[in-house]
């Protein structure tokens, strides 16, 4: 049996569906919108609520606080660090030795040059710092008693796909509206990961269960530049997006103006100077190690096309969506 901890959310829902041929159970603080019949309610911050079913062979730990606006910030450490400690303790009690943990490329920090798994760790926010602390705890858990243990750390970049409401969705929605104007030259590249590829990679690691401690970045390659992303969306949505490009300096002035409006109105607006900076930066991560062992079933273009089809061309009749950054 595989126990998914945090399987009621975006990635977890796709993962459980991907593992439907296996015996799977879910533990989450929230009910599952799709798999409630195999879901137990439990919060990993409370070790008494972590129930590991008998015959569990593997645990996939997805549960995390990850949004940018979590308050108080201590929640990042309560869930991502202490929660991980609690899960490891319960694994020891239950004799479970196979763990897959989803970390994040946020542990590398900002403005890094295509870091691979050996790159220095320099997290800049509480999410990245808490994920790096959790990784170190898992590493110590393995090193102190490695016999028979299989540990896989997966550091994905931003994950997108159907039903997700995060930064990639907002970008796709803005471009597909046909009212999009490029800020900067559009040559900056962005690493992204399509959710169906991510869960297939997790499944691949579950099936192999290689003894030892392994770390993988996960990104779908090749990375698209902003110009290439716009072109893919134009083609799928049958659009002709204006080719006018706003200089970076002008975009930043606009961002500061929206910062001012946000401050005086007290409202969180979709445009800000920080978002303009992020939009114009190249954000790439090296995932050669993962792709040397795993062939993604979908190209990055496939993932974008499927997301556009689902969200904007033939949207679902239900209202089940997942929010993330």
Question: What is the SS3 assignment for 35?
Answer: coil
**Catalytic hit among 76, 127, 194, 218:** 127
Contact status, residue 4 vs residue 25, Cβ threshold 8 Å? yes
Contact status, residue 180 vs residue 234, Cβ threshold 8 Å? no
| Residue 167: Cβ within 10 Å count | 18
DSSP assignment letter at 283: B
Active site residue 323: no
Encoded tokens for 156? 């994905």
Encoded tokens for 89? 């303790």
DSSP assignment letter at 153: E
What span, in angstroms and rounded, lies between the C-alpha atoms of 111 and 129? Answer: 16
Per-state percent for the chain, helix, strand, coil, to nearest 5? 45, 20, 40
What span, in angstroms and rounded, lies between the C-alpha atoms of 191 and 157? Answer: 7
Contacts 24+ apart (CB under 8 A), 43-47: 44/5, 44/6, 44/79, 44/83, 44/84, 44/86, 44/87, 45/78, 45/79, 45/82, 45/83, 45/86, 46/86, 47/86, 47/89, 47/90
Q: Which residues participate in catalysis according to the annotation?
A: 127
């Amino acid at each position: 049996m595989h126990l998914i901890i945090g399987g009621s959310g975006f990635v977890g829902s796709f993962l459980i569906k991907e593992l439907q041929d296996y015996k799977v159970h879910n533990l989450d603080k929230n009910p599952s919108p799709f798999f409630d019949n195999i879901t137990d309610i439990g919060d990993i911050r409370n070790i008494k609520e972590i129930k590991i079913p008998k015959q569990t062979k593997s645990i996939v730990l997805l549960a995390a606080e990850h949004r940018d606006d979590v308050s108080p910030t201590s929640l990042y450490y309560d869930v991502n660090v202490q929660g991980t400690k609690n899960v490891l303790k319960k694994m020891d009690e239950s004799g479970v030795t196979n763990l897959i943990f989803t970390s994040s490329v946020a542990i590398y920090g900002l403005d890094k040059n295509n870091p691979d798994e050996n790159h220095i760790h320099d997290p800049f926010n509480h999410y990245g710092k808490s994920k790096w602390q959790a990784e170190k705890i898992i590493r110590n858990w393995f090193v102190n008693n490695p016999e028979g243990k299989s540990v896989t750390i997966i550091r994905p970049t931003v994950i997108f796909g159907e039903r997700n409401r995060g930064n990639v969705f907002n970008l796709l929605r803005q471009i597909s509206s046909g009212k999009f104007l490029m800020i900067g030259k559009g040559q900056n590249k962005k690493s992204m990961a399509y959710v169906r590829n991510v869960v297939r990679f997790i499944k691949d690691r579950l099936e192999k269960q290689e003894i030892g401690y392994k770390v993988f970045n996960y990104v779908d390659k090749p990375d698209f530049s902003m110009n290439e992303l716009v072109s893919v969306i134009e083609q799928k949505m049958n659009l002709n997006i204006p080719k006018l490009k706003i200089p970076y300096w002008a975009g930043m002035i606009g961002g500061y103006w929206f910062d001012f409006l946000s401050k005086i109105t007290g409202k969180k607006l979709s445009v800000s100077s920080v978002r303009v900076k992020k939009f114009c930066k190249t954000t790439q991560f090296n995932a050669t190690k993962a792709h040397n062992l795993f062939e993604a079933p979908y190209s990055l273009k496939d993932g974008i096309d499927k997301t556009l089809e689902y969200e904007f061309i033939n949207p679902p009749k239900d209202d089940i969506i997942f929010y993330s950054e």
